[in-house]
């Protein structure tokens, strides 16, 4: 198969054809002609931080619905987090979940392993067993503040040589989770937690939301993940979001939001932290926003407006997640890589509408945001969405080393 169009390579955009054989990009040449895709052909995204629920919380999301949403938003691979019910804290539960995913995923799938006080003494052994099975986990999202999965800095220090993803909120500065929770989960919680963790090691820090924490990571080492909602929402959006405002870490002030957006080129990984809850759960203060389907389209809307550029977006949403996780042959449009492609037509700028989304949760904070959804998505050389329509065949698979 040959795909032809305007292609974003690592540092340039070229009009060329892509020869695809057995799911792999064999050649990229201007002389190749084939199926023409309108607009800009970008690398399909990797969402390195999603919560697909399932198990005892399948009423609000599942691997089936969550990966279908990812597909529609131009994502080719998701990394599921282990704070499920029950948590993915044992070898047996890990295998149970990936085997479920093998039957349900619309796009490619990877699963992290939990660190809890229950498994802290044997997590390294569990991690090695999982790796021997050919899977590719990191440890975490590791919670310093969580009612049932909280661990301390001492547990982190004991396993600091494992690849850890840290949710950095120090419990001393988390006073509650009432609505709006930005009044109770203090900025200092993140700043102190990042500072303490950086004294232990250089980790992957999830959903960084404050200027000081971001600057510490960039200065001292580690990976800074940032979400679209911390780039686009702030405390002032409580008026619009109402009881749905809660998210962990909370929305911050305009100064933090503007700083992160202005420094988009310096962040390491853009991830959605897709954390769906039903509307009635949100009314009661549940923390989390859905976002796996809207992340790439909304950010492409910012490209359209000139707020960010397409090269930076491709790096944060595809190249860097692949590099950080070691997802071989993912993350870039280049010879020898999988043909994971998403085609965006700038003329198709539209508003996000809940009725067009695929998550079970029944709401989105991005309603009416300008966005460009991909009209075509290719995963490992197979069209999974074309001309705006999702195709019936599931090609997703669990990532294996």
Quick: pLDDT tens for 183-224.
999 999 999 999 999 999 999 999 999 999 999 999 999 999
Structure tokens at 146: 């969580």
CA distances for 151 relative to 147, 175, 213, 272, 331, angstroms: 10, 17, 20, 24, 32
Answer whether residue 393 shows pLDDT above 90. no
SS3 labels along the chain: CEEEEEEECCCCEEEEEEEEECCEEEEEECCCCCEEEEEEEEECEEEEEECCCECCECCCCCHHHHHHHHHHCCEEEEEECCCCCCCCCCHHHHHHHHHHHHHHCCCEEEECECCCCCCCCCHHHHHHHHHHCCCCCCEEEEECCCCCCECCHHHHHHCCCCCEEEECCCHHHECCCCCCHHHCECHHHHHHHHHHHHHHCCCEECCCCCHHHHHHHHHHCCEEEECHHHHHCCHHHHHHHHHHCCCCCCCCCHHHHHHHHHCHHHCCEECCCECCCCHHHHHCCCCCECCCCCHHHHHHHHHHHCCCCHHHHHHHHHHHHHHHHCCCCCCCCCCCCECCEEEECHHHCEECCHHHCCCCCCCCCCCCCEECCCCEEEECCEEEEECCEECCCCCCCECCC
Q: What is the CATH number of the domain that holds 127?
A: 3.20.20.140
pLDDT value, residue 41 = 98
Give the confidence band of 146 by pLDDT, cuts at 50, 70, 90: confident
> What number of other Cβ atoms are within 10 A of residue 20's Cβ?
21
The DSSP bridge pattern shows strands 13-21 and 2-8 to be: antiparallel
Q: Is residue 343 within 8 Å of 5, Cβ to Cβ?
A: yes
The DSSP bridge pattern shows strands 35-43 and 341-344 to be: antiparallel
Q: Is residue 354 within 8 Å of 364, Cβ to Cβ?
A: yes
Q: How far apart are CA 218 and CA 366, in angstroms?
A: 29
Give the confidence band of 147 by pLDDT, cuts at 50, 70, 90: confident
Kindly state whether residue 359 falls inside one of the protein's structural domains: no
Kindly state whether residue 370 falls inside one of the protein's structural domains: no
Residues whose CB falls within 8 Å of the CB of residue 381, separated by 6 or more in sequence, listed in order: 1, 20, 21, 22, 23, 24, 338, 339
Length of the chain: 401
- Is 108 part of the annotated catalytic residue set? no
Kindly state whether residue 254 falls inside one of the protein's structural domains: yes
> How many domains is the chain built from?
1
pTM of the model: 0.97
Percent residues over pLDDT 70 in the chain:
100
> What number of other Cβ atoms are within 10 A of residue 160's Cβ?
14
pLDDT tens across 277-320, in order? 999 999 999 999 999 999 999 999 999 999 999 999 999 999 99
Answer whether residue 252 shows pLDDT above 90. yes
What is the average pLDDT value for the chain, to the nearest integer? 97
Question: What residues are paired with 382 via a beta bridge?
Answer: 379
Kindly state whether residue 5 falls inside one of the protein's structural domains: no
pLDDT value, residue 392 = 79
Which whole number is the average pLDDT over 83-93? 97
Kindly state whether residue 107 falls inside one of the protein's structural domains: yes
Give the confidence band of 254 by pLDDT, cuts at 50, 70, 90: very high
Angle, vertex CA 157, rays to CA 125 and CA 122, nearest 5: 20
Kindly state whether residue 353 falls inside one of the protein's structural domains: no
Q: Is residue 81 within 8 Å of 112, Cβ to Cβ?
A: yes
Q: Is residue 276 within 8 Å of 359, Cβ to Cβ?
A: yes
Give the confidence band of 148 by pLDDT, cuts at 50, 70, 90: confident
Residues whose CB falls within 8 Å of the CB of residue 182, separated by 6 or more in sequence, listed in order: 235, 238, 245, 250, 251, 252
268, 273, 312, 345: the active-site residue: 273
Kindly state whether residue 308 falls inside one of the protein's structural domains: yes
The whole domain housing 265 covers: 44-328
Which whole number is the average pLDDT over 171-183? 97
pLDDT value, residue 353 = 98
Structure tokens at 389: 């329509």
Placement of tokens 């609505």 in the chain: 179
Residues whose CB falls within 8 Å of the CB of residue 53, separated by 6 or more in sequence, listed in order: 60, 61, 62, 66, 84, 276
pLDDT tens across 315-373, in order? 999 999 999 999 999 999 999 999 999 999 989 999 999 999 999 999 999 999 999 99
Kindly state whether residue 248 falls inside one of the protein's structural domains: yes
């Amino acid at each position: 198969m040959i795909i032809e169009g305007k292609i974003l390579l690592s540092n340039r955009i070229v009009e060329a054809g892509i020869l695809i054989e057995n799911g792999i990009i064999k050649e990229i040449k201007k002389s190749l002609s084939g199926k023409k895709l309108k607009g800009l052909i970008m690398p399909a995204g990797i969402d390195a931080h999603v919560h697909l629920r399932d198990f005892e919380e399948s009423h609000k999301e599942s691997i089936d619905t969550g990966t279908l949403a990812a597909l529609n938003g131009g994502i080719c691979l998701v990394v599921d987090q282990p704070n499920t019910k029950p948590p993915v804290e044992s070898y047996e539960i890990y295998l149970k979940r990936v085997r479920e995913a093998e039957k349900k995923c619309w796009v490619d799938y990877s699963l992290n392993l939990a660190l809890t006080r229950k498994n802290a003494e044997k997590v390294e052994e569990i991690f090695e067993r999982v790796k021997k099975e050919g899977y590719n986990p990191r440890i975490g999202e590791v919670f310093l503040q969580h009612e049932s999965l909280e661990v301390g800095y001492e547990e982190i220090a004991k396993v600091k040589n494992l690849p850890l993803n840290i949710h950095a909120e120090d419990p001393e500065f988390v006073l509650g989770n009432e609505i709006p929770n930005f009044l109770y989960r203090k900025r200092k919680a993140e700043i102190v937690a990042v500072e303490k963790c950086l004294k232990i090691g250089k980790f992957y820090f999830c959903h960084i939301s404050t200027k000081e924490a971001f600057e510490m990571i960039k200065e001292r080492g580690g990976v800074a993940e940032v979400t679209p909602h911390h780039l686009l929402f702030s405390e002032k959006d409580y008026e619009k979001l109402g009881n749905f405002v809660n998210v962990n870490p909370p929305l911050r002030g305009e100064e933090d939001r503007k700083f992160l957006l202005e420094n988009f080129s310096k962040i390491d990984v853009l991830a959605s932290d897709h954390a769906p809850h039903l509307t009635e759960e949100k009314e009661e203060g549940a923390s989390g926003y859905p976002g796996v389907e809207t992340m790439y389209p909304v950010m492409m809307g910012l490209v359209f407006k000139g707020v960010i550029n397409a090269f930076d977006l491709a790096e944060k949403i595809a190249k860097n997640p692949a590099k950080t996780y070691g997802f071989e042959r993912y993350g870039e449009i280049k010879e020898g890589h999988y043909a994971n492609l998403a085609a965006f037509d700038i003329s198709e700028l539209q508003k996000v509408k809940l009725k067009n989304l695929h998550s079970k949760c029944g709401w989105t904070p991005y309603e009416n945001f300008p966005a460009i959804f991909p009209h075509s998505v290719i995963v490992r050389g197979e069209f999974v969405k074309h001309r705006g329509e999702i195709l019936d065949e599931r090609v997703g698979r669990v990532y294996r080393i």
